[in-house]
Amino acid sequence: MTKEVSQKGVLEKVFHLKELGTNVRTEVVAGMTTFFTMAYILFVNPMMLSLTGMNQEGVFVATVIASVVGTLIMAFVANVPYALAPGMGLNAFFTFTVCFAMGFTWQQALGLVLICGVVNTIITLSGLRKAIIKAMPKLLQAAISGGIGMFIAYIGFKDLGLLKFTADAPLLGTVPPEGAISELGTVVGAGVHTTPGLVTFVEPSLLLGLFGLVLIIVLLVKKVKGAILIGILATTLIGIILDLTGILGAGNTITKLHEASISPESFASSIGAISDTAFKIDLLGLFDNPTKTLLAITAAVGFCLTDIFDCIGTFIGTGRKSGIFDDEDWKKFEEGGNFKSRMDRALVADLTATTIGAFVGTSNTTTYVESASGIAEGGRSGLTSVVVALFFAACIILAPVVGVVPQVAVAPALIVVGAMMMSSFVEIDWKKFELAVPAFLGAVMMPLTYSITNGIAFGFISYCIVKAVTGKLKEVHPIAWLVTGLFIANFILQALFT
């Protein structure tokens, strides 16, 4: 008992749990919830990057290392409940755009990731990233929070298997280029309507997911502690017992658990694989051919903008509304120097992860929007992040165990978290069209383009246009004009060189 009290005392001293209105149990539940909602990256990232020729097992270990180190830095430097991992979208940009479309090797692509990390470090330590956040209009901050909610919910509905997509005939005679590839897979063509619809309720896995969604909603309405995590674990358990999906079949599960057995051989094999990806950066190769210099610059700009604004969007969208970055912290952020606020420290913690990821052999590592699920469970301190990091670390030898938790068990959590984030829309005066337009475009383009950064870009650009045509140029911060110019330049560069 004394030992337990002592341990709690250490945790209290390090993470200030009472001051932040939380406790060890809540933080542990929040950490587990966050981990399970983002654990898919352990399997998706290696599969995605291996298409470039990278060793898949090596990328897996690199993913674990980057996630663990980045998340622990977030925990102990910033003391906030955010987890980091190689970003979805960024890994697709790495594979399909930088390597396939632009023709860079994966070693050169890692060089671009390193450049992005260095540039973002300079931007953050110089105070420019802080200036960007301070220059962001309040209506866009509210729109970002709601937009991220829609984005998270859309991911949930898609992973649940509730949506189907039908491609109509090409318009105006346009034909999609053969073998064209986008960040999400094969392109159906810019002139083709892809219409979403509701699937028929026949798939057992979908019914399992809907059960999980109802269960989480009921538990939340009843204010049950740990509602989201209970929903994920209960849905997974029922799926295993009833054998409702191939992933959850009893025999398959036993096989996975057997494969996950801890042994010196399995550990040595996993660690050894990292030698195929770590420290393979090729910086000189990026610029040895003058014709590729502009391509390298284009890719670097794309990496930097996405990395910066995905992080900013996540912090503003989830941190302000939940009180992690409360009014007092926000005041310190706006008025104080670096490291005076949790937001300052969180920005610095985030920037270190990309550089680490480049060295071990993975694409940009960033703060995950799925951290919102743990925040919804009450996570308020870095202890949540420590729990996530411990689970990630265990996955070097226990990855098959994590694999028995299916997407349909996690998807309901994303849907309800998305619903929770909709309340920020009330802060926008929708009756004023000049305010509604940038807020709407900034929010809706996130789920429609599957990108937080694209939504922020449309919000900034439309905001500046509206202010310009209404003669209110002085209301736009100079930094906002700079950011808008960078977004436009990025779109132009992508159009010209990709």
pLDDT for residue 327? 85
Mean pLDDT by 10 residues, the chain (498 residues): 60 92 95 92 86 90 94 96 90 86 91 93 86 88 88 90 75 44 49 78 92 95 89 90 60 47 53 80 84 82 86 87 85 76 90 89 92 93 97 81 77 89 88 95 92 90 96 91 91 79
Alpha carbons 159 and 213: distance in angstroms, whole number: 12
CA distance 463 to 437: 8
Phi-psi region of 365 (alpha: psi -120 to 50; beta: other; left: phi over 0): beta
Q: Report residue 275 as tokens.
A: 């030698």
* Cα–Cα distance measured from residue 104 to residue 52, given in angstroms and rounded to the nearest whole number: 10
| DSSP class of 196 | E
Q: Angle 264-273/56-73 helices, nearest 10 degrees?
A: 90
List, as own/partner pairs, every contact residues 472-478 make where C-beta atoms lie below 8 angstroms and the sequence separation is at least 24, other chains included: 477/134, 477/135, 478/135
The tens digit of pLDDT for each residue in 478-493 reads 999 999 999 999 898 8
Torsion of CA 109, 114, 118, 123, to 10 degrees: 50
Report the pLDDT value the prediction gives residue 186, as an integer from 0 to 100: 53
Give 320-375 as a 3 state SS string.
Answer: HHHCCCCHHHHHHHHHCCCCCCHHHHHHHHHHHHHHHHHHHCCCCEEECCCHHHHH
pTM of the model: 0.79
- Phi, psi of 492, deg, nearest 5: -65, -45
Q: What is the distance between the alpha carbons of residues 62 and 395, in angstroms, rounded to a whole number?
A: 12
Contact (CB, 8 A) for 364 and 309: no
Distances in whole angstroms, Cα of residue 14 to Cα of each of 34, 212, 319, 347, 432: 21, 35, 20, 20, 46
Report long-range pairs for 107-110 (Cβ below 8 Å, ≥24 apart).
107/280, 107/281, 107/282, 107/285, 108/282, 108/285, 108/286, 109/52, 109/299, 109/363, 110/280, 110/281, 110/282, 110/358, 110/361
The contacts of residue 463 (CB under 8 Å, 6+ apart) are 137, 139, 140, 438, 442, 476, 480, 484
Residue with tokens 């060189």: 497
pLDDT of residue 234: 93
Q: Which residues contact 195 (CB under 8 A, 6 or more apart)?
A: 165, 166, 167, 168
C-alpha gyration radius of the chain? 22
Q: Is the dihedral of CA 200, 203, 205, 210 positive or negative?
A: positive
- Kindly give the interhelix angle for 342-360 and 293-314, rounded to the nearest 10 degrees: 140
**SS3 at position 101:** helix
List the structure tokens of 296: 């390298």
Structure-block tokens of residue 8: 């709690």
Instruction: Compute the distance between CA of residue 55 and CA of residue 63 in angstroms, rounded to an integer.
Output: 12
For residue 335, list its beta bridge partners: none
| DSSP per position, 247-316 | TT-HHHHHHHHHHT---HHHHHHHHHHGGGTTT---SGGGSSSGGGHHHHHHHHHHHHHHHHHHHHHHII
